[in-house]
Amino acid sequence: MSKENTVAHFDQAKHVIVVGAGIGGLTVALGLAKQGFHVRIFEQTSALSEVGAGLQLSPNAMKVLREFGIKDRLESHAFTPQKACIRDYHSGRYYLEAPLGKHIEQRYGAPYWHIHRADLHKELVQACYSAGVEIELDHKVLGYREDHKNATVLLENSTEHADIVIGADGIHSKMRELMLGVQAPIFTGQVAWRGTVPAAAIKGTMMEPNATVWAGPNKHLVTYYLRGGEWVNFIAVEERAEWRSESWREAGDVEELRSKFVGWHPEVTSVLEACDETFLWALNGRPTLPKWHDERLVLLGDACHPMLPFMAQGAAMAIEDAFVLVTTLTKYPFKDAFEKYESVRKPRATAVQRQSRDNAALYHMHGGWEGRLKLKALGVASKYFSRIIESKLDNIYGHDVTTLAL
């Protein structure tokens, strides 16, 4: 993206406020700053840190990070998985094996990396500072208003003005609430346990260098390496009838977690035995929003399209959003840019949301033997009709927002 070719419309939107210093907010702030916008981020927490564990950066996300100059900064933190696998929870048999590593980089023109969320967050923060982004902490949003001159964000400690505001403040977005009204999240009937363990602490088994989904009745567990293989990340998802906690995330009971996976394959139980801390999330969703923007406010990432983790595309979708929004804002007056951004991103995000929901039923063997047969059929297709499987991945990993004619 050439800065010299994109400055014509800066008189329409020079000053930008981003609400939220998560991955999506930092990425869009970095991209805009690189194009000459004056960007300020307001974050309600008192410290710049990212709670969570690992995430998967697929080629569609990596192309954006490369374009924004972040890829090389991340390489020392990354782990390159060799395969994507679905395995049986008890026997360990492979239902599906799809090559990653060099194969996927050659096919899609960018790598597939595992990275600790905190490492990505740290590098984005440093890149933002280097690009001139101002990051203000401990600033909780109380209100928002707009007129023909500017947008105004009311904070606990101050009142701030800008040409436009980007709401990148997550599934519990205050900016979405201010724009569209209060709406409770929809509990999906699933919760996720997350954590990391040192690879050296795992006893009695050797973890393979793959991104592995362990599929079982009404639950599944994902394992993969982080930080060059020094750590193993896990995400364990189970179905529940309700979620009564007031918090969207809470400390989990490790013994309870282990009890949920008794009798599973040794690679699973060994990881959980080595775990001494876990966090528990409710997996919430939201109906498709009627709109993603107002006159001077636009939403991004989980604030407008929260993703279930069953395609590992939550961070990737926010990163894609960021690139498209930066590109449209550098090419068009902001009102046209918002319209273009939503028209491009909404169908894409909605389709990935749907694929993620569909995978939940597959991973959890819904339908008993019928569910197992679907997994076996998937395995046969992957072995003898690999192009069918790759064509499904092409829609996700082959999507390249950096080459769209926007």
Tell whether the model's pLDDT for residue 376 goes beyond 70. Answer: no
Per-residue pLDDT of 44-60, as tens digits, reads 987 776 666 899 999 99
Lowest mean pLDDT: which of 1-5, 55-59, 137-141? 1-5
pLDDT of residue 303: 95
Confidence of residue 4 (pLDDT cuts 50, 70, 90): very low
Half-sphere exposure of 322 (CA within 13 A, CB side): 34
Confidence of residue 157 (pLDDT cuts 50, 70, 90): confident
In percent, the amount of the chain with pLDDT more than 90 equals 70
Confidence of residue 369 (pLDDT cuts 50, 70, 90): low
Task: Give the CATH number, domain containing residue 48.
Answer: 3.50.50.60
Residue 386: count other Cβ atoms within 10 Å of its Cβ: 13
Residue 273 placed within a domain: no
Annotated active-site residue 224? The verdict is yes
Nearest to 235 by CA among 209, 286, 271, 259: 271
Per-residue pLDDT of 75-120, as tens digits, reads 999 999 999 999 999 999 898 888 899 999 999 999 999 999 999 9
- How many domains does the chain fold into? 1
Residue 240 placed within a domain: no
pLDDT of residue 368: 55
Distance in angstroms (rounded) separating the CA atoms of residues 89 and 268: 8
In percent, the amount of the chain with pLDDT more than 70 equals 88
Residue 211 placed within a domain: no
Lowest mean pLDDT: which of 92-96, 249-253, 282-286, 345-349? 249-253
pLDDT of residue 57: 97
Residue 267 placed within a domain: no
Residue 197 placed within a domain: no
Locate 241 and state its tokens: 């009838």
Measured in degrees and rounded to the nearest 5, phi and psi for residue 42 equal -115, 120
Helix axes 117-130, 23-34, angle to 10 degrees: 30
Residue 192 placed within a domain: no
Residue 358: count other Cβ atoms within 10 Å of its Cβ: 12
pLDDT of residue 256: 94
From 144, 224, 341, 363, the catalytic residue: 224
pLDDT of residue 10: 42
Distance (Å) of CA 367 to CA 22, 144, 326, 370: 38, 47, 44, 5
Q: Whole domain around residue 154: which residue ranges?
A: 15-184+286-403
Lowest mean pLDDT: which of 109-113, 130-134, 213-217, 374-378? 374-378
Residue 1 placed within a domain: no
Residues whose CB falls within 8 Å of the CB of residue 89, separated by 6 or more in sequence, listed in order: 214, 215, 216, 217, 220, 221, 264, 265, 268
Which amino acid, residue 177? E
pLDDT of residue 6: 45
pLDDT of residue 249: 64
Residue 349 placed within a domain: yes
Q: Please answer whether residues 238 and 214 qualify as being in contact, where contact means their C-beta atoms are separated by less than 8 angstroms.
A: no
Per-residue pLDDT of 173-210, as tens digits, reads 999 999 999 887 788 888 999 999 999 999 988 889 99
Tell whether the model's pLDDT for residue 247 goes beyond 70. Answer: no
Distance in angstroms (rounded) separating the CA atoms of residues 139 and 43: 6
For the segment 298-318, the average pLDDT, to the nearest whole number, is 94
